[in-house]
Amino acid sequence: MKKLSGKESRFVRNTSHVISSEIVHEAKGNSSTTAMENLEGIRMGTTVMKGKMYIHNSWSFHQLRSFIEYRAREAGIPVIVIDPHNTSRECPNCHAITRKNRSERSRFRCISCGLNGEADLIASLNIRNRAAVKQPIVAGCYF
Ligand SMILES: [Zn+2]
């Protein structure tokens, strides 16, 4: 078990390195900003919350976030951390917020305006929109 968990943590660490590297590389190429949800301390749903899974998930998120922040700082890319509440339930078009917008796990369908799309893509649009609001008018140090 100990050996297995070591292997798993190396896998998660390696994955965090690869993902953070790609995100910062992409942001640098587009001269853009990186935005992410502040998931620290948030309950990730009752099913994920149970037992070790939650601890594991919050730990891997913390690791990924610190890798992104470290790499972004080196590359001079701003990182904006946003409030994660309802990013998966809010419609980026009409801003209706209801859990009914997510009748299926992987799909988003707005019951107000009919916007329909892949759930992660819709959530990422909400993250982008919230980050855009949080951007300072005068460019400066984001860290
Ligand atoms: Zn809508």
Instruction: Read off the pLDDT of residues 5-34 as tens digits, 9 standing for 90 and up.
Output: 788 888 888 999 999 999 999 999 988 889
Do 94 and 28 share a domain, yes or no? Answer: no
Do 60 and 102 share a domain, yes or no? Answer: no
Q: State the pLDDT confidence band at 54, using cuts at 50, 70 and 90.
A: low
Distance of alpha carbon 48 from alpha carbon 110, whole angstroms: 25
Q: State the pLDDT confidence band at 60, using cuts at 50, 70 and 90.
A: confident
pLDDT of residue 126: 96
C-alpha to C-alpha distances, 38 to 31, 50, 58, 62, 80, nearest whole angstrom = 22, 20, 11, 9, 9
Do 58 and 99 share a domain, yes or no? Answer: no
Do 110 and 127 share a domain, yes or no? Answer: yes
Do 101 and 122 share a domain, yes or no? Answer: yes
Q: Residue 93: phi, psi to the nearest 5?
A: -90, -55
Do 72 and 92 share a domain, yes or no? Answer: no
Do 32 and 12 share a domain, yes or no? Answer: yes
Interval 72-100 mean pLDDT = 94
pLDDT at residue 49 tops 50: no
Do 76 and 102 share a domain, yes or no? Answer: no
pLDDT of residue 46: 41
Do 65 and 2 share a domain, yes or no? Answer: yes
Q: How far apart are the first and last CA of the chain?
A: 39
Q: Residue 58: phi, psi to the nearest 5?
A: -70, -35
pLDDT of residue 1: 52
Q: How many domains are there within the chain? A: 2
How many Å lie between the centroid of ligand 1 and the Cα of residue 81? 24
Residue 128's domain spans which residues?
85-143
Of the two residues 85 and 5, the one the predictor is more confident about is 85
How many Å lie between the centroid of ligand 1 and the Cα of residue 111? 7
Do 76 and 101 share a domain, yes or no? Answer: no
How many Å lie between the centroid of ligand 1 and the Cα of residue 79? 28
Do 30 and 94 share a domain, yes or no? Answer: no
* Nearest partner of 115 among 97, 101, 128, judged by Cα: 101
